[in-house]
Structure 1
Amino acid sequence: MQALALALCALQLCPAVRGGQRWQPFVLERPQRRMLSQVGGFSWKNCGNGTDPLVIKSLSVEPDPISIPGDLKVSVAVSSEADLSSPLKAVLRMEKKIAELWIEIPCIDQIGSCTYDGLCNILDMAIPPGTPCPEPLLSYGIPCHCPFKQGAYSLPPTDFYLPALELPSWLTNGDYRVQATLSHEGKQLACVNVVLSLHSG
Protein backbone atom coordinates (compact mmCIF):
# COMPACT_ATOMS: atom_id res chain seq x y z
CA MET A 1 0.00 0.00 0.00
CA GLN A 2 2.87 2.37 0.75
CA ALA A 3 4.26 1.94 -2.74
CA LEU A 4 0.97 2.84 -4.37
CA ALA A 5 0.45 5.79 -2.07
CA LEU A 6 3.86 7.20 -2.96
CA ALA A 7 3.16 6.79 -6.64
CA LEU A 8 0.06 8.91 -6.30
CA CYS A 9 1.79 11.40 -4.02
CA ALA A 10 4.45 11.92 -6.67
CA LEU A 11 1.67 13.48 -8.72
CA GLN A 12 0.19 15.25 -5.66
CA LEU A 13 -2.87 13.02 -5.89
CA CYS A 14 -2.95 11.69 -2.33
CA PRO A 15 -6.53 11.64 -1.01
CA ALA A 16 -6.61 14.68 1.27
CA VAL A 17 -8.75 13.26 4.04
CA ARG A 18 -7.95 12.57 7.64
CA GLY A 19 -10.54 11.92 10.27
CA GLY A 20 -13.26 13.43 8.10
CA GLN A 21 -11.37 16.69 7.76
CA ARG A 22 -10.09 18.05 4.49
CA TRP A 23 -6.34 18.49 4.30
CA GLN A 24 -4.58 21.11 2.24
CA PRO A 25 -2.10 19.41 -0.12
CA PHE A 26 1.58 20.27 -0.11
CA VAL A 27 1.90 23.05 -2.71
CA LEU A 28 5.15 24.67 -3.75
CA GLU A 29 5.07 28.44 -4.09
CA ARG A 30 6.30 28.66 -7.65
CA PRO A 31 5.14 30.73 -10.65
CA GLN A 32 3.51 29.26 -13.75
CA ARG A 33 1.46 26.63 -12.00
CA ARG A 34 -1.85 25.29 -13.22
CA MET A 35 -4.87 23.74 -11.57
CA LEU A 36 -5.46 20.03 -11.99
CA SER A 37 -9.01 19.50 -13.25
CA GLN A 38 -9.31 15.79 -14.07
CA VAL A 39 -7.61 12.42 -13.61
CA GLY A 40 -8.64 9.51 -15.81
CA GLY A 41 -7.58 6.24 -17.37
CA PHE A 42 -6.36 4.87 -14.02
CA SER A 43 -4.95 1.34 -14.09
CA TRP A 44 -2.39 -0.60 -12.07
CA LYS A 45 -0.49 -3.87 -11.83
CA ASN A 46 2.08 -5.49 -9.58
CA CYS A 47 5.51 -5.49 -11.23
CA GLY A 48 7.51 -7.58 -8.78
CA ASN A 49 9.55 -10.67 -9.57
CA GLY A 50 7.05 -13.06 -8.03
CA THR A 51 8.89 -13.27 -4.72
CA ASP A 52 8.03 -9.83 -3.31
CA PRO A 53 6.50 -10.23 0.16
CA LEU A 54 4.14 -7.25 -0.30
CA VAL A 55 1.59 -7.36 -3.12
CA ILE A 56 -1.64 -5.58 -3.96
CA LYS A 57 -4.47 -8.08 -4.29
CA SER A 58 -7.09 -5.63 -5.54
CA LEU A 59 -7.46 -1.89 -6.10
CA SER A 60 -10.40 0.12 -7.37
CA VAL A 61 -10.68 3.87 -7.87
CA GLU A 62 -13.99 5.42 -9.01
CA PRO A 63 -15.27 7.31 -10.91
CA ASP A 64 -13.21 7.43 -14.08
CA PRO A 65 -12.46 10.17 -14.83
CA ILE A 66 -12.17 11.88 -11.42
CA SER A 67 -13.08 15.56 -11.36
CA ILE A 68 -10.92 17.77 -9.14
CA PRO A 69 -12.01 19.13 -6.77
CA GLY A 70 -14.41 16.27 -6.24
CA ASP A 71 -15.25 12.98 -4.58
CA LEU A 72 -13.84 9.56 -5.29
CA LYS A 73 -14.30 6.05 -3.92
CA VAL A 74 -11.30 3.83 -3.19
CA SER A 75 -11.05 0.18 -2.17
CA VAL A 76 -7.83 -1.77 -1.77
CA ALA A 77 -6.57 -5.08 -0.41
CA VAL A 78 -2.91 -5.88 0.22
CA SER A 79 -1.03 -8.86 1.61
CA SER A 80 2.39 -8.99 3.21
CA GLU A 81 4.26 -12.19 3.98
CA ALA A 82 6.88 -10.40 6.09
CA ASP A 83 7.13 -7.62 8.65
CA LEU A 84 8.12 -4.30 7.07
CA SER A 85 10.51 -2.37 9.29
CA SER A 86 12.83 0.61 9.12
CA PRO A 87 14.69 1.55 7.03
CA LEU A 88 12.20 1.57 4.15
CA LYS A 89 13.13 3.13 0.83
CA ALA A 90 10.80 4.07 -2.02
CA VAL A 91 12.04 4.70 -5.56
CA LEU A 92 9.70 6.25 -8.12
CA ARG A 93 10.18 6.24 -11.87
CA MET A 94 7.78 8.63 -13.57
CA GLU A 95 7.35 8.83 -17.34
CA LYS A 96 5.21 10.80 -19.79
CA LYS A 97 4.04 9.51 -23.15
CA ILE A 98 5.20 11.75 -26.00
CA ALA A 99 4.13 10.48 -29.42
CA GLU A 100 4.87 6.74 -29.09
CA LEU A 101 7.73 7.13 -26.61
CA TRP A 102 7.79 7.14 -22.82
CA ILE A 103 10.11 9.89 -21.56
CA GLU A 104 11.37 9.82 -17.97
CA ILE A 105 10.61 12.92 -15.88
CA PRO A 106 13.48 13.88 -13.55
CA CYS A 107 13.01 14.60 -9.86
CA ILE A 108 12.16 18.31 -9.54
CA ASP A 109 11.19 19.74 -6.15
CA GLN A 110 10.42 16.20 -4.91
CA ILE A 111 8.01 15.54 -7.80
CA GLY A 112 8.83 13.09 -10.58
CA SER A 113 11.37 10.24 -10.61
CA CYS A 114 12.46 10.64 -7.00
CA THR A 115 13.94 8.48 -4.26
CA TYR A 116 12.54 8.69 -0.74
CA ASP A 117 14.86 7.35 1.95
CA GLY A 118 13.65 6.90 5.51
CA LEU A 119 10.00 6.31 4.62
CA CYS A 120 9.25 5.37 8.23
CA ASN A 121 10.51 8.79 9.38
CA ILE A 122 8.38 10.49 6.73
CA LEU A 123 5.31 8.69 8.07
CA ASP A 124 6.22 9.71 11.64
CA MET A 125 6.42 13.35 10.58
CA ALA A 126 3.02 13.16 8.89
CA ILE A 127 1.39 11.29 11.78
CA PRO A 128 3.31 11.74 15.06
CA PRO A 129 4.00 8.47 16.91
CA GLY A 130 1.59 7.89 19.78
CA THR A 131 -1.34 9.47 17.97
CA PRO A 132 -4.12 7.30 16.55
CA CYS A 133 -4.04 6.49 12.87
CA PRO A 134 -6.45 8.67 10.90
CA GLU A 135 -9.78 7.41 9.71
CA PRO A 136 -10.62 5.28 7.89
CA LEU A 137 -7.36 3.41 8.65
CA LEU A 138 -8.17 3.24 12.36
CA SER A 139 -11.60 1.67 11.87
CA TYR A 140 -10.27 -1.07 9.59
CA GLY A 141 -7.12 -1.88 11.57
CA ILE A 142 -4.70 -0.61 8.92
CA PRO A 143 -1.41 0.54 10.51
CA CYS A 144 0.24 3.85 9.70
CA HIS A 145 3.62 3.46 11.44
CA CYS A 146 6.58 1.13 11.14
CA PRO A 147 6.94 -1.72 11.69
CA PHE A 148 4.09 -3.07 9.57
CA LYS A 149 3.23 -6.58 10.69
CA GLN A 150 2.78 -9.30 8.11
CA GLY A 151 -0.78 -10.16 7.21
CA ALA A 152 -3.68 -9.08 5.05
CA TYR A 153 -5.12 -5.57 5.13
CA SER A 154 -8.15 -4.29 3.27
CA LEU A 155 -10.05 -1.05 2.90
CA PRO A 156 -13.63 -1.53 1.68
CA PRO A 157 -15.10 1.04 -0.74
CA THR A 158 -14.53 4.35 1.05
CA ASP A 159 -15.34 7.89 -0.01
CA PHE A 160 -12.59 10.52 -0.12
CA TYR A 161 -12.52 14.13 -1.17
CA LEU A 162 -9.80 15.58 -3.41
CA PRO A 163 -9.44 19.35 -2.97
CA ALA A 164 -8.21 21.74 -5.63
CA LEU A 165 -4.62 20.85 -6.57
CA GLU A 166 -1.91 22.78 -8.34
CA LEU A 167 0.65 21.22 -10.66
CA PRO A 168 3.98 22.58 -11.92
CA SER A 169 3.74 24.02 -15.41
CA TRP A 170 6.06 21.29 -16.73
CA LEU A 171 3.64 18.58 -15.58
CA THR A 172 1.36 19.19 -18.56
CA ASN A 173 -1.70 17.40 -19.89
CA GLY A 174 -1.05 13.86 -21.05
CA ASP A 175 -0.61 10.20 -20.19
CA TYR A 176 1.73 9.22 -17.37
CA ARG A 177 3.00 6.05 -15.79
CA VAL A 178 4.70 5.65 -12.43
CA GLN A 179 6.63 2.65 -11.15
CA ALA A 180 6.98 2.58 -7.37
CA THR A 181 9.46 0.17 -5.76
CA LEU A 182 9.69 -0.39 -2.02
CA SER A 183 12.81 -1.93 -0.48
CA HIS A 184 14.52 -2.67 2.82
CA GLU A 185 18.33 -2.64 2.98
CA GLY A 186 18.58 -3.44 -0.71
CA LYS A 187 15.92 -6.18 -0.75
CA GLN A 188 12.88 -5.43 -2.88
CA LEU A 189 9.61 -5.68 -0.98
CA ALA A 190 7.04 -4.50 -3.52
CA CYS A 191 6.71 -3.06 -7.00
CA VAL A 192 3.62 -1.39 -8.49
CA ASN A 193 2.97 0.25 -11.85
CA VAL A 194 0.29 2.96 -12.10
CA VAL A 195 -0.94 4.52 -15.36
CA LEU A 196 -3.18 7.59 -15.54
CA SER A 197 -3.97 10.71 -17.55
CA LEU A 198 -3.83 14.27 -16.23
CA HIS A 199 -5.84 17.23 -17.45
CA SER A 200 -5.33 20.75 -16.14
CA GLY A 201 -6.76 24.17 -16.80
Structure 2
Amino acid sequence: MKFAGCTILLSVFISLCTGKQSFIIRDCENPDNAAVSLKSGSVKPYPVAIPGIVTVTGSGSVNRNLTGGGLDLQVHIERYVGFLWVTVPCISDVGSCHYDLCNKLSEAFSAKGCPAELKANNVPCTCDTLKPGTYSLNAQKFTIPELSGLYSWLASGDYKVDLKLTDRATKKQVGCVHLEGTIVDGNACEGFLCSIFG
Protein backbone atom coordinates (compact mmCIF):
# COMPACT_ATOMS: atom_id res chain seq x y z
CA MET A 1 0.00 0.00 0.00
CA LYS A 2 2.85 2.39 0.85
CA PHE A 3 4.46 1.62 -2.52
CA ALA A 4 1.22 2.44 -4.39
CA GLY A 5 0.90 5.75 -2.50
CA CYS A 6 4.51 6.69 -3.29
CA THR A 7 4.00 5.80 -6.96
CA ILE A 8 0.89 8.00 -7.21
CA LEU A 9 2.65 10.88 -5.45
CA LEU A 10 5.67 10.56 -7.76
CA SER A 11 3.40 10.50 -10.85
CA VAL A 12 1.63 13.68 -9.73
CA PHE A 13 4.98 15.39 -9.04
CA ILE A 14 6.34 14.48 -12.49
CA SER A 15 3.17 15.69 -14.23
CA LEU A 16 3.33 19.01 -12.35
CA CYS A 17 6.97 19.47 -13.33
CA THR A 18 6.62 18.54 -16.98
CA GLY A 19 2.93 18.55 -17.95
CA LYS A 20 2.32 22.02 -19.35
CA GLN A 21 -0.93 22.86 -21.11
CA SER A 22 0.62 25.35 -23.53
CA PHE A 23 3.95 26.46 -24.93
CA ILE A 24 5.41 29.05 -22.53
CA ILE A 25 6.98 32.13 -24.13
CA ARG A 26 7.91 35.08 -21.94
CA ASP A 27 10.24 38.05 -21.84
CA CYS A 28 12.95 37.65 -19.19
CA GLU A 29 14.85 40.93 -19.60
CA ASN A 30 14.87 43.78 -17.09
CA PRO A 31 12.61 46.43 -18.68
CA ASP A 32 15.17 49.14 -17.84
CA ASN A 33 17.85 47.42 -20.01
CA ALA A 34 15.65 46.03 -22.77
CA ALA A 35 16.53 47.15 -26.26
CA VAL A 36 14.40 44.27 -27.52
CA SER A 37 11.14 43.40 -25.73
CA LEU A 38 8.72 40.53 -26.27
CA LYS A 39 5.13 41.66 -25.71
CA SER A 40 3.33 38.38 -26.44
CA GLY A 41 3.82 35.04 -28.13
CA SER A 42 2.05 31.75 -28.76
CA VAL A 43 2.69 28.53 -30.65
CA LYS A 44 -0.12 26.14 -31.65
CA PRO A 45 -0.89 23.27 -31.73
CA TYR A 46 0.57 22.04 -28.48
CA PRO A 47 2.56 19.93 -27.98
CA VAL A 48 4.66 20.84 -31.01
CA ALA A 49 5.16 17.99 -33.49
CA ILE A 50 8.37 17.56 -35.50
CA PRO A 51 7.92 17.23 -38.42
CA GLY A 52 4.77 19.32 -38.47
CA ILE A 53 3.13 22.68 -39.03
CA VAL A 54 2.85 25.29 -36.28
CA THR A 55 0.97 28.57 -36.14
CA VAL A 56 3.00 31.33 -34.50
CA THR A 57 1.54 34.60 -33.20
CA GLY A 58 3.57 37.25 -31.43
CA SER A 59 4.43 40.86 -30.86
CA GLY A 60 7.62 42.60 -29.83
CA SER A 61 9.48 45.86 -30.05
CA VAL A 62 12.95 47.15 -30.84
CA ASN A 63 13.46 50.13 -28.55
CA ARG A 64 16.70 51.55 -29.97
CA ASN A 65 19.17 51.11 -32.82
CA LEU A 66 21.30 47.98 -32.27
CA THR A 67 23.14 47.49 -35.51
CA GLY A 68 26.28 49.53 -34.74
CA GLY A 69 28.45 47.01 -32.87
CA GLY A 70 26.71 43.76 -33.73
CA LEU A 71 24.59 41.40 -31.69
CA ASP A 72 25.55 38.18 -29.92
CA LEU A 73 22.97 35.50 -29.14
CA GLN A 74 23.57 33.01 -26.33
CA VAL A 75 21.27 29.99 -26.54
CA HIS A 76 20.90 27.70 -23.52
CA ILE A 77 18.79 24.55 -23.99
CA GLU A 78 17.84 22.05 -21.28
CA ARG A 79 16.04 18.75 -21.85
CA TYR A 80 14.19 16.81 -19.16
CA VAL A 81 15.84 13.39 -18.81
CA GLY A 82 14.65 11.05 -16.05
CA PHE A 83 14.33 13.35 -13.04
CA LEU A 84 16.84 16.01 -14.14
CA TRP A 85 17.10 18.97 -16.48
CA VAL A 86 20.23 18.34 -18.59
CA THR A 87 21.96 20.96 -20.75
CA VAL A 88 21.96 20.11 -24.46
CA PRO A 89 25.56 20.67 -25.61
CA CYS A 90 26.55 22.69 -28.67
CA ILE A 91 27.20 20.11 -31.42
CA SER A 92 27.79 21.15 -35.03
CA ASP A 93 26.40 24.62 -34.30
CA VAL A 94 23.13 23.29 -32.79
CA GLY A 95 22.25 23.21 -29.08
CA SER A 96 23.46 25.47 -26.28
CA CYS A 97 25.61 27.63 -28.54
CA HIS A 98 26.87 31.19 -28.91
CA TYR A 99 26.13 32.93 -32.21
CA ASP A 100 27.07 36.13 -33.99
CA LEU A 101 23.39 36.87 -34.68
CA CYS A 102 23.85 39.39 -37.49
CA ASN A 103 26.20 37.08 -39.41
CA LYS A 104 23.84 34.11 -38.95
CA LEU A 105 20.86 36.10 -40.23
CA SER A 106 22.88 37.40 -43.20
CA GLU A 107 24.00 33.86 -44.10
CA ALA A 108 20.43 32.61 -43.94
CA PHE A 109 18.47 35.43 -45.56
CA SER A 110 20.59 38.02 -47.38
CA ALA A 111 20.63 36.14 -50.70
CA LYS A 112 17.12 34.63 -50.52
CA GLY A 113 15.36 37.46 -48.72
CA CYS A 114 13.06 37.18 -45.72
CA PRO A 115 10.69 34.20 -45.54
CA ALA A 116 7.20 34.92 -46.89
CA GLU A 117 5.69 34.47 -43.42
CA LEU A 118 7.78 37.39 -42.09
CA LYS A 119 7.40 39.54 -45.21
CA ALA A 120 3.62 39.29 -44.93
CA ASN A 121 3.84 41.01 -41.53
CA ASN A 122 6.73 43.44 -42.33
CA VAL A 123 8.98 41.70 -39.76
CA PRO A 124 12.71 42.21 -40.52
CA CYS A 125 15.00 39.19 -40.71
CA THR A 126 18.48 40.75 -40.99
CA CYS A 127 20.28 43.29 -38.80
CA ASP A 128 20.51 45.89 -41.58
CA THR A 129 16.70 45.98 -41.77
CA LEU A 130 16.19 45.97 -37.99
CA LYS A 131 14.91 49.40 -37.02
CA PRO A 132 13.31 50.68 -33.79
CA GLY A 133 9.57 49.99 -33.78
CA THR A 134 6.89 47.47 -32.89
CA TYR A 135 6.58 44.27 -34.91
CA SER A 136 3.72 41.77 -34.92
CA LEU A 137 3.33 38.31 -36.38
CA ASN A 138 -0.32 37.43 -36.94
CA ALA A 139 -1.04 33.69 -36.92
CA GLN A 140 1.54 32.67 -39.50
CA LYS A 141 2.03 28.97 -40.32
CA PHE A 142 5.56 27.55 -40.40
CA THR A 143 6.54 24.06 -41.54
CA ILE A 144 9.04 22.30 -39.29
CA PRO A 145 11.03 19.71 -41.27
CA GLU A 146 11.98 16.28 -39.99
CA LEU A 147 15.20 16.22 -37.98
CA SER A 148 17.60 13.63 -39.33
CA GLY A 149 20.93 12.11 -38.44
CA LEU A 150 22.67 13.62 -35.43
CA TYR A 151 19.68 15.82 -34.51
CA SER A 152 16.93 13.20 -34.64
CA TRP A 153 17.15 12.55 -30.87
CA LEU A 154 16.06 16.18 -30.29
CA ALA A 155 12.71 15.57 -32.01
CA SER A 156 10.83 14.71 -28.81
CA GLY A 157 10.97 15.64 -25.13
CA ASP A 158 10.38 18.43 -22.63
CA TYR A 159 12.58 21.50 -23.12
CA LYS A 160 13.52 24.82 -21.54
CA VAL A 161 15.29 27.40 -23.71
CA ASP A 162 16.81 30.77 -22.80
CA LEU A 163 17.76 33.18 -25.59
CA LYS A 164 19.95 36.06 -24.39
CA LEU A 165 20.86 38.94 -26.69
CA THR A 166 23.97 41.05 -26.02
CA ASP A 167 25.03 44.31 -27.68
CA ARG A 168 28.64 43.61 -28.63
CA ALA A 169 29.63 47.31 -28.50
CA THR A 170 28.54 47.80 -24.87
CA LYS A 171 28.84 44.13 -23.73
CA LYS A 172 25.43 44.53 -22.09
CA GLN A 173 22.51 42.14 -22.30
CA VAL A 174 19.71 43.89 -24.16
CA GLY A 175 17.08 41.16 -24.57
CA CYS A 176 16.02 37.81 -23.15
CA VAL A 177 13.28 35.32 -24.05
CA HIS A 178 12.42 32.17 -22.08
CA LEU A 179 10.65 29.22 -23.74
CA GLU A 180 9.27 26.01 -22.23
CA GLY A 181 7.39 23.25 -23.92
CA THR A 182 7.04 19.71 -25.13
CA ILE A 183 8.05 18.42 -28.55
CA VAL A 184 6.61 15.16 -29.87
CA ASP A 185 7.52 12.93 -32.80
CA GLY A 186 5.25 13.97 -35.67
CA ASN A 187 5.81 10.59 -37.33
CA ALA A 188 4.64 8.62 -34.30
CA CYS A 189 1.65 6.41 -34.90
CA GLU A 190 -1.23 6.79 -32.41
CA GLY A 191 -4.39 4.84 -31.69
CA PHE A 192 -5.38 1.19 -31.66
CA LEU A 193 -4.80 0.74 -35.41
CA CYS A 194 -1.09 1.39 -34.85
CA SER A 195 -0.82 -1.77 -32.78
CA ILE A 196 -2.18 -3.69 -35.80
CA PHE A 197 -0.58 -1.90 -38.74
CA GLY A 198 2.38 -0.16 -37.05
Say whether the fold is shared (TM-score over 0.5): yes
Map of 2:58 onto structure 1: 76
Summarize the Cα distance change of 1:189–1:157 in structure 2 as closer, same or farther, 3 Å threshold. Answer: same
Q: Distance in 2 between matches of 1:156 and 1:179?
A: 23
Summarize the Cα distance change of 1:151–1:97 in structure 2 as closer, same or farther, 3 Å threshold. Answer: same
Q: Distance in 2 between matches of 1:169 and 1:72?
A: 19
Q: Which amino acid aligns with 2:184?
A: H
Aligned residues: 160
Structure (1/2) with the larger helix percentage: 2
Map of 1:198 onto structure 2: 183
Map of 1:105 onto structure 2: 88
Map of 1:180 onto structure 2: 163
Map of 2:127 onto structure 1: 146
Map of 1:90 onto structure 2: 73
Summarize the Cα distance change of 1:132–1:111 in structure 2 as closer, same or farther, 3 Å threshold. Answer: closer
Summarize the Cα distance change of 1:98–1:165 in structure 2 as closer, same or farther, 3 Å threshold. Answer: closer
Summarize the Cα distance change of 1:81–1:121 in structure 2 as closer, same or farther, 3 Å threshold. Answer: same
Map of 1:162 onto structure 2: 144
Q: Deviations over 1:150-192 (max 9, x none)?
A: 1100011112222322363654743211111011121111101
Q: Distance in 2 between matches of 1:155 and 1:169?
A: 29
The DSSP-based 3-state class of the residue aligned with 1:188 is strand
Structure (1/2) with the larger strand percentage: 1
Summarize the Cα distance change of 1:99–1:50 in structure 2 as closer, same or farther, 3 Å threshold. Answer: farther
Shift of 1:74: 1.0
Instruction: Give percent identity, aligned residues only.
Output: 37
Summarize the Cα distance change of 1:172–1:133 in structure 2 as closer, same or farther, 3 Å threshold. Answer: closer
Summarize the Cα distance change of 1:173–1:65 in structure 2 as closer, same or farther, 3 Å threshold. Answer: closer
Q: Distance in 1 between matches of 2:52 and 2:155?
A: 20
Q: Deviations over 1:49-105 (max 9, x none)?
A: 222121111111111123333322111111121112141100011112234432222
Summarize the Cα distance change of 1:124–1:92 in structure 2 as closer, same or farther, 3 Å threshold. Answer: same
Map of 1:124 onto structure 2: 106
Conserved? CA contact 2:55–2:142, under 8 Å? yes
The DSSP-based 3-state class of the residue aligned with 2:116 is coil
Summarize the Cα distance change of 1:101–1:66 in structure 2 as closer, same or farther, 3 Å threshold. Answer: closer
Q: Which structure is higher in RCO with an 8 Å CA cutoff and minimum separation 6? A: 1
Normalised by the size of structure 2, how large is the TM-score? Answer: 0.71
Q: Distance in 2 between matches of 1:65 and 1:105?
A: 20
Largest Rg, 1 or 2: 2
Conserved? CA contact 2:159–2:181, under 8 Å? yes
Q: Distance in 2 between matches of 1:165 and 1:149?
A: 33
Normalised by the size of structure 1, how large is the TM-score? Answer: 0.70
Summarize the Cα distance change of 1:83–1:74 in structure 2 as closer, same or farther, 3 Å threshold. Answer: same
Q: Which amino acid aligns with 1:184?
A: D
